[in-house]
């Protein structure tokens, strides 16, 4: 019997590494022309056309209160049927690293003081920690 929880996509926001379940991701694209939307929430950078579909581009650094270090070079596009009530959404990230298997023994609960439903846990790696976030919960907040 396997203790595998599934696969995650690891990415960088500033100096920290985060991950999301690969089941939520449809594609990874380079940052293109993002059109600002007046009066949009602060975390919404704007919209862009991805294969004929208007896609909201979200800055997770604003959502998670991360400093603005780093250069957003990639967009993780999420499955609209899972993530945002049929609306296409993507996150601006600095780098996309890799897809990895997650084992149950590698994951700790959210750190003390972190009561956000968007944090699924902390993944222990030999070279540090990876924060596992739930994009479904982020878009529901």
Predicted structure pTM score: 0.87
Question: Residue 121: is its pLDDT beyond 50?
Answer: yes
52-55: long-range contacts, CB 8 A cutoff, minimum separation 24: 53/88, 54/88, 55/88, 55/89, 55/90
Q: Average pLDDT for residues 33-54, to the nearest whole number?
A: 92
Provide the CATH topology of domain 4-140.
OB fold (Dihydrolipoamide Acetyltransferase, E2P) (2.40.50)
What is the domain partition of the chain in residue ranges? 4-140
* 56-114 residue pLDDT tens: 999 999 988 888 777 888 999 998 887 766 678 999 999 999 999 988 888 887 765 55
């Amino acid at each position: 019997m396997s203790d595998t929880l599934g696969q995650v996509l690891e990415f960088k926001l500033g100096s920290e590494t985060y991950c999301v379940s690969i089941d939520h991701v449809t594609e990874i694209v380079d940052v293109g022309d993002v059109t600002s939307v007046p009066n949009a929430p602060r975390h919404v950078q704007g919209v862009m056309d991805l294969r004929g579909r208007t896609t909201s581009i979200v800055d997770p650094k604003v959502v998670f209160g991360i400093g603005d270090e780093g250069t957003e070079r990639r967009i993780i596009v999420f499955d609209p049927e899972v993530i945002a009530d049929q609306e296409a959404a993507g996150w601006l990230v600095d780098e996309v690293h890799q897809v990895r298997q997650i084992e149950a023994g590698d994951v700790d609960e959210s750190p003390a003081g972190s009561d956000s439903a968007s944090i699924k846990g902390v993944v222990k790696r030999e070279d540090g920690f990876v924060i596992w976030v739930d994009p479904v919960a982020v878009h529901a907040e």
